[in-house]
């Protein structure tokens, strides 16, 4: 008898303990760790970084409420209780490219070990959490590798090692750890629209010698390369015979639902989404969009030079956009453009004609003649 399961088996987001990408700093005083984080963060200012620490003000009693202090620069100081629900914490830290963790208080999936001769007992106490050391930092020139470190990890002296004053080298190594986690781009042809104004399925219109959805499918395969996947987003009732179809699981929400359905299919990929009603989009436009991609924001979107708004349906949506889309949905909003307008987005300007929407038979005939 097969085992009965009550819940759908979804693809999980690749998370560490607290965030999609985290590193704990272990081996020295909290003040040294905090100072190192601030110096590295200043060097890596183009990335979205966060620091998880514990309160050191022991004389201050527990606050009656969580406190959020916002700075005009956009940063925030948050005082709250942590350690009770890893699932909520992963949502809280999902927008960040990297979460630094004070390893004296919390464990991280990856670690930086600081060799401090005065902290041998402290490191021994945390030896079990040193299971994925990325590199080593010497606090002083004479800092030594404790014997128990070599016993646990015989290759530890082969790891990269820097002096704590080598901030540029340390920052570069951390930057590489961030880049390693950049999501692959998958293609997504938004072919599930009902085409009410056109009177026929816009994905089946022929602008380039084949159905537009097939043309875009092949175009995305061309610009993304063989290593990346391309999908058709559709409603189940369309019965599209293509093994690379992602049917809407968020029903009745249009392209917003298509994006959420794609992220449900794979929350670890970024999606280059293209609608079927923009026939002037070509390979050069998509190559430009990809070249300007900023994976540290929630999306990279095209905007016509004379247009006031971004185009959410010719856009690279990053994995960190998924929880944001769901949070808008929880508030009753299902407009992808509203998400872009109220989020951190990279904008790429192009000539207006490239992103012109075609919605009626008259517009189709005009576009068809212009594309000859």
Q: Where are the beta strands (DSSP E) in 16-105?
A: 22-26, 49-52, 67-70, 76-79, 98-102
Question: pLDDT tens-digit profile of 146-203?
Answer: 999 999 999 999 999 999 999 999 999 999 999 999 999 999 999 978 777 888 889 9
- Report the alpha-carbon distance of residue 130 to residue 36 in Å, rounded: 19
Chain Cα centroid distance, residue 146: 38
Find, among 204, 278, 193, 196, the residue nearest to 237 by Cα. 193
Cα-based angle 12, 15, 16 (whole degrees, multiple of 5): 145
Record: fold of 22-179: Rossmann fold (3.40.50)
d(CA 37, CA 96): 15
Cα radius of gyration rounded to whole Å, the chain = 25
pLDDT tens digits along 352-363? 999 999 999 999
According to the model, what pLDDT value does residue 117 have?
Answer: 98
Q: What is the arrangement of strands in the sheet containing 270-275, beginning at the earlier edge strand?
A: 245-247, 230-234, 185-190, 270-275, 311-317, 299-304, 345-350
CA dist 96 and 91 (Å) reads 10
pLDDT at 76: 66
Alpha carbons 76 and 283: distance in angstroms, whole number: 41
User: For the purposes of burial, counting CB atoms within 10 Å of the CB of 47, is it exposed (0-12), middle (13-18) or buried (19 or more)?
Assistant: middle
The percent of residues above 90 in pLDDT, for the chain, comes to: 81
Question: What is the domain partition of the chain in residue ranges?
Answer: 22-179, 185-370
pTM over 0.75: yes
CATH homologous superfamily of 185-370 equals Spore Coat Polysaccharide Biosynthesis Protein SpsA; Chain A (3.90.550.10)
Residue 242 clears pLDDT 80, i.e. is over it: no
* Average pLDDT across the chain, whole number: 92
Q: Is 221 exposed, middle or buried (0-12, 13-18, 19+ CB in 10 A)?
A: middle
What single DSSP character describes residue 211?
Answer: B
Chain segment 201-216, per-residue pLDDT in tens:
899 999 999 999 999 9
pLDDT score recorded for residue 83: 56
Six token digits for residue 158: 């082969």
The pLDDT score that the predictor gives to residue 287 is 98
Percentage of the residues of the chain whose pLDDT score is greater than 70: 92
**Is 310 in a helix, a strand, or coil?**
coil
Joined together, the tokens standing for residue 18 give: 């607290």
Q: What is the pLDDT of residues 39-84, one digit of tens each?
A: 999 999 999 999 999 876 654 556 667 777 777 766 666 666 655 6
**CA 264 to CA 341: how far, in whole Å?**
23
Does residue 241 surpass a pLDDT of 90?
no
């Amino acid at each position: 008898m097969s085992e009965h399961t009550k819940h759908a088996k979804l693809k999980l987001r690749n998370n560490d303990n607290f965030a999609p990408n985290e590193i704990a700093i272990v081996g020295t005083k909290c003040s040294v760790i905090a100072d190192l984080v601030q110096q590295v963060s200043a060097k890596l200012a183009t990335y979205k970084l966060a620091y998880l620490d514990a309160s050191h003000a022991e004389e201050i009693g527990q606050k009656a409420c969580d406190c959020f202090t916002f700075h005009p620069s956009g940063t925030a100081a948050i005082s709250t209780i942590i350690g009770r629900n890893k699932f909520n914490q992963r949502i809280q830290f999902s927008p960040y490219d990297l979460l630094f963790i004070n390893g004296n208080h919390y464990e991280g999936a990856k670690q930086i070990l600081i060799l401090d001769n005065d902290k041998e007992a402290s490191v021994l106490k945390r030896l079990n959490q040193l299971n994925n050391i990325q590199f080593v930092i010497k606090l002083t020139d004479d800092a030594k590798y404790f014997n128990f470190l070599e016993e646990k990890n015989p290759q530890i002296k082969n790891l990269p090692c820097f002096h704590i004053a080598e901030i540029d080298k340390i920052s570069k190594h951390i930057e590489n750890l961030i880049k390693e986690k950049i999501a692959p781009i998958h293609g997504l042809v938004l072919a599930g629209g009902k085409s009410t104004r056109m009177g026929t399925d816009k994905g089946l219109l022929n602008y380039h010698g084949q159905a537009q959805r097939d043309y875009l499918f092949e175009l995305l395969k061309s610009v993304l390369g063989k290593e990346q996947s391309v999908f058709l987003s559709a409603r189940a009732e369309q019965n599209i015979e293509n093994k690379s179809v992602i049917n809407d699981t968020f029903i009745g929400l249009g392209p917003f639902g298509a994006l959420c359905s794609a992220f449900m299919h794979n929350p670890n990929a970024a999606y280059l989404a293209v609608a079927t009603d923009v026939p002037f989009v070509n390979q050069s436009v998509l190559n430009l969009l990809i070249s300007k991609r900023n994976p540290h924001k929630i999306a990279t979107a095209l905007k016509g030079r004379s247009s006031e708004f971004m185009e959410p349906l010719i856009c690279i949506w990053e994995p960190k956009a998924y929880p944001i889309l769901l949070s808008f949905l929880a508030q009753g909003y299902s407009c992808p453009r509203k998400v872009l307008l109220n989020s951190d987005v990279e904008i790429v300007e192009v000539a207006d004609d490239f992103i012109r929407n075609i919605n009626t038979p008259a517009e189709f005939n005009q576009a068809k003649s212009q594309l000859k």
